[in-house]
């Protein structure tokens, strides 16, 4: 006997516990198997790029916090670098070191959320998530010390920082460097060989090297597929060329590898912070920049390796106090490009897992 069956459409989102915000996927299902998905963006669109044209160059910095709000400091940094490049401002030595320390701390905080919510999507009921959040809190405390904020910092300025770090900041970072590796070892010990996780994540949602390159995918997602591409090495910005660190890559490009790459990156970030804290010089943290930055007419593009991948800011100036155009190269949006290829043929549960393993932030997708 053959039953007449037909595929049906199921909406994941925009209000759904596992879409990491207000992403929406219209999935066509055959029972549990995913035949096709169609992403729908824009539920969190705030017109941030347009808003930039109405503000001064400095006045746009708080809005960059709202792009990828999981790693606001990285957004600050990329935008400030773009304007500095446009204006020709150099950043003092101490500020460069601080930017590296802060960017790497931000990477740690971001990967804490990425790994934690990955396990949550896998169905581990909040336990791995909350332990990661506990450690993230410590990093947020550090940022709180710097800027008085815990999520949207608005700490960096064009040409440096708002103010110098407090005296207790560097000892606190050293303390974190002592405790975090132990936590990571312990965490990895409990998670790495978990039979259910291996069954769920290994070989699931494979992103091949070719598709990753063709879709312009960057960051840990690309490195899990074996692409040795990290802007900190490929196009060293700031002072990353002074530090010793590796770019971890994996070969398979499945969900398990994407989780593992993030874990290895966290250890490398700790290495960078350790070196930077050791070498950080004294001096000013902000170069002489006028209150209203007025770059000469022209354009500049600066990109950094944000925790999620290549984050770029393209700023065009028409010799006024506000940008003529400001475009963001959103890591999260471009990393989502291959989602359809990755999830076709897998089950509903895998869709959530694969989606979680890409680690997106809706603030950046919709802007």
Partner 1 sequence: MTIPDVYIASLPMGATPPDWPGGYWWHWLFFSVVLIAFLLVMVMAAIYIERRGMGRMQSRLGPNRAGPFGLLQPVADVIKVLLKENIVPDNADKIVHWLAPVIAFVPVAMIFAVVPFRDGAMLVDLDVGILYVIAASSIATIGVFMAGWGSSNKYSLLGAMRNVAAVVSYEIPLALSVIGTVLITGTMSLNGIVLAQDIPYILLQPLGFLIFFIAGCAEINRSPFDLMEADSELVAGFHTEYSGMKFALFYLVEYAEAIVISAIITTLFLSGWKGPWLPPWLWFIIKTLIVFFVMVWTRTTLPRVRIDQLMSLAWKFLFPLALINLFITAIQVLVWPDGLPWVAIIINIAIMVVLVVAWSKFFKLGWGRLEV
CB closer to partner 1, 7 vs 236: 7
Q: How far is the CB of 23 from partner 1 (least distance, A)?
A: 14
CB closer to partner 1, 200 vs 303: 200
CB closer to partner 1, 67 vs 184: 184
Written as one string, the DSSP assignment of 56-123 is: -TGGGHHHHHTTSGGGHHHHHHHHHHHHHHHHTPPPPHHHHHHHHHHHHHHHHHHHHHHHHHHHHHHT
CB closer to partner 1, 128 vs 160: 128
How many angstroms separate the CA atoms of 346 and 121, rounded? 15
Q: How far is the CB of 362 from partner 1 (least distance, A)?
A: 16
CB closer to partner 1, 255 vs 280: 255
Q: How far is the CB of 35 from partner 1 (least distance, A)?
A: 5
102: left (phi over 0), alpha (psi -120 to 50) or beta: alpha
Q: How far is the CB of 175 from partner 1 (least distance, A)?
A: 19
Q: How far is the CB of 186 from partner 1 (least distance, A)?
A: 12
Residues that bind partner 1 (CB under 8 A): 8, 10-11, 16-18, 30-36, 119-127, 130-131, 134, 194-197, 199-200, 203-204, 344-352
Q: How far is the CB of 131 from partner 1 (least distance, A)?
A: 6
CB 253 within 8 A of CB 342: no
Burial per residue of 57-93, b for 16 or more beta-carbon CB atoms within 10 angstroms, e otherwise: bbebbebbbbbbebbbbbbbbbbbbbbbbbbebebbb
Tokens of 83: 């304007």
CB closer to partner 1, 60 vs 129: 129
């Amino acid at each position: 006997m053959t039953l007449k069956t037909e595929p049906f459409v199921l909406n994941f989102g925009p209000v759904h516990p596992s879409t990491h915000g207000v992403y929406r996927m219209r999935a066509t299902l055959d029972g549990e198997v995913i035949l096709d998905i169609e992403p729908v963006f824009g539920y969190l669109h705030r017109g941030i790029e347009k808003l930039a044209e109405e503000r001064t160059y400095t006045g746009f910095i708080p809005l960059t916090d709202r792009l990828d709000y999981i790693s606001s400091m990285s957004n600050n940094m990329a935008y400030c670098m773009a304007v500095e490049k446009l204006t020709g401002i150099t950043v003092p030595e101490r500020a460069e070191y601080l930017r590296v320390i802060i960017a790497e701390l931000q990477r740690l905080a971001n990967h804490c959320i990425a790994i934690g919510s990955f396990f949550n999507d896998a169905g581990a009921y909040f336990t791995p998530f909350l332990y990661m959040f506990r450690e993230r809190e410590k990093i947020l405390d550090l940022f709180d010390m710097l800027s008085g904020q815990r999520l949207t910092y608005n700490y960096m300025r064009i040409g440096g920082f708002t103010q110098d770090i407090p005296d207790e900041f560097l000892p606190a970072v050293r303390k974190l460097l002592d405790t975090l590796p132990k936590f990571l070892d312990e965490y990895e010990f409990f998670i790495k060989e978990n039979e259910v996780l291996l069954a769920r994540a290994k070989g699931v949602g494979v992103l091949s090297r070719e598709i990753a390159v063709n879709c312009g995918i960057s960051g840990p997602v690309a490195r899990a597929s074996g692409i040795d591409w990290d802007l900190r090495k490929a196009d060293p910005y700031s002072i990353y060329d002074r530090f010793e660190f590796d770019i971890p890559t994996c070969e398979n490009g499945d969900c398990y590898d994407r989780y593992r790459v993030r874990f290895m990156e966290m250890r490398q970030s700790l290495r960078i912070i350790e070196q930077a804290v050791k070498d950080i010089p004294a001096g000013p943290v902000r170069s002489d920049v006028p209150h209203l930055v007025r770059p000469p007419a022209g354009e500049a593009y600066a990109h950094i390796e944000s925790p999620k991948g290549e984050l770029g800011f393209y700023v065009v100036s028409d010799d006024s106090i506000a940008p003529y155009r400001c475009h963001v190269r959103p890591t999260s949006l471009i990393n989502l490009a291959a989602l359809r290829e990755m999830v076709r043929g897998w089950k509903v549960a895998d869709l959530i897992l694969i989606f979680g393993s890409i680690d997106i932030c809706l603030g950046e997708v919709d802007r």
